[in-house]
Amino acid sequence: MLGFLVRRIIALAFVLLFAVTLTFCLLRLFPGSPFNLNEKQNSAANIAKEEYLHNLDGPIWWQWARYIGLGPKHERLDSNANVLEPAGYRGLLQGRFDEDSLKLKDRKVNELIADSMPTSVTIGLLALMFSTVAGVWLGSMAAVKRHTWIDTGSMLGALAAISIPTFVAGPLLALVFSLWLNWLPIGGVGGLSNLILPSLTLAGPFIAYIARLTRASLLEVLSQDFVRTARAKGVAERGVLYRHVLKIGILPVVSFLGPLTAGVLTGSLVVEKIFNLPGMGEMLVNSVLNQDEFLCCGTVAVYCALLVVMNLLVDVAYQWLDPRIRIS
């Protein structure tokens, strides 16, 4: 088990490195300098100075090496050219995440991410919770009451919900629940109630997906011999469902948690835009448009890390839940 964990973590670190490298190189390959975006054209000397300050001078592989922490960065200067920090290795490998944002002056990447991450993570977690709980509940209802109106209704609803993308459902939900019915706030900054509508929007298609998955898996498990045995020895129907069937039937849902997290992460970009939430999604999009090199890489790294950690957790949970799988 320990060996499995160590191997997985090493592999995941490489995946993370790959993603950050790709983002870094792609954004650096964009024609033109990030310091030349403003209406007033920067002089070549100024651009060179800024690039030197932010360690974006020299060939691209060397810039990358310094960002990652395989090469020494220049000394850090303040506006009066006083040395704040001598030249040295200050990259991701050294655990340093505090490059300056190129666009938002005086802000550091780690501060910006720390400010915006709670919102995004809250919506994401709420959406994960909604989608698994509601999805499994709906799916098992449909499986147990097969061929009744509950089954047909929830499965038709599920197909419709899958086909309605988040950015269609979001504005419509906002229109109905916030503007016409006035039940929930439309989003923006505020308490937890502001995050309910966004996370419901985000969870919608996944509730449907998980309901379908659960229903199919439960139907298969319900037809197996051990269920008949359990019923024959007099276990109550409720006990059969919770203690025997759901324990096996939930496994496909657990393995779907990885793709689910990926979907929730990408979906949160849209949801944050719809409901004007100050999350990481808006920051990511703006950082790409502004060629804000370090902020973009930092955000992508955080998104990847969230996904990668979730995948690891899913693997561990899967092994723990399913006695048939034993990883040596």
Partner 1 sequence: MNEGASTPAAQPPGAFQRLMRNRTAVASLFVLAFIALVAIAGPFLPNYHPEEVTNYSKHSPSWLPQTEAQLKSDLENGGPVSTWRFPFGTDLNGRDVFSRVVQGAGISLLVGLCGALVSFFVGTTYGLISGYVGGQVDNLMMRLVEGLHSIPRLIIVIVAIFTFAQWMQNWLNAGSLYSLFGQDPRVLFAVVALAFWAVWCLGAKSTKRRRGIVLFALSLFAGWLVAGTLVTQTIVRCYATFFIAAAFLWIFLHAARIGGGVATCTGVLTAALLGLAVSDDVSAALQCTSLQPFIGYNKIIILILCLGLIEWLSMARIVRGQVLALKEQQFVLAARSLGQSHATIIIRHLLPNLVGVVIVYLTLTIPAVILDESFLSFLGLGINDPQASWGSLLADGKNVINPIKSYWWLLAFPAAAMSLTLLALNFLGDALRDALDPRAQR
Residue ranges binding partner 1 (CB under 8 A)? 11-12, 14-15, 18-19, 22-23, 26-27, 29-32, 159-160, 162-165, 167-168, 170-172, 174-175, 179, 258, 262, 265-266, 269-270, 273-274, 284-285, 288-289, 296, 300, 303-304, 307-308, 311
Least CB distance from residue 144 to partner 1, whole Å? 23
- For the chain, list the strands marked E by DSSP: 76-77, 83-85
Complex with partner 1: residue 207 or 307, whichever CB lies closer? 307
Least CB distance from residue 172 to partner 1, whole Å? 7
What is the DSSP code (8-state) at residue 177? I
Complex with partner 1: residue 240 or 304, whichever CB lies closer? 304
Least CB distance from residue 238 to partner 1, whole Å? 32
Least CB distance from residue 83 to partner 1, whole Å? 33
Complex with partner 1: residue 26 or 129, whichever CB lies closer? 26
Least CB distance from residue 288 to partner 1, whole Å? 5
Residues 6+ apart with CB under 8 A from 127: 199, 200, 202, 203, 206, 264, 267, 268
Complex with partner 1: residue 72 or 259, whichever CB lies closer? 259
Measured distance between the N- and C-terminal CA atoms of the chain, rounded to whole angstroms: 6
- For 205-267, list the strands marked E by DSSP: none
Classify 49 as helix, strand or coil. Answer: helix
Residues 6+ apart with CB under 8 A from 247: 321
Closest by alpha carbon to 246, among 140, 319, 325, 324?
140
Complex with partner 1: residue 87 or 168, whichever CB lies closer? 168
Residue with tokens 């723990």: 320
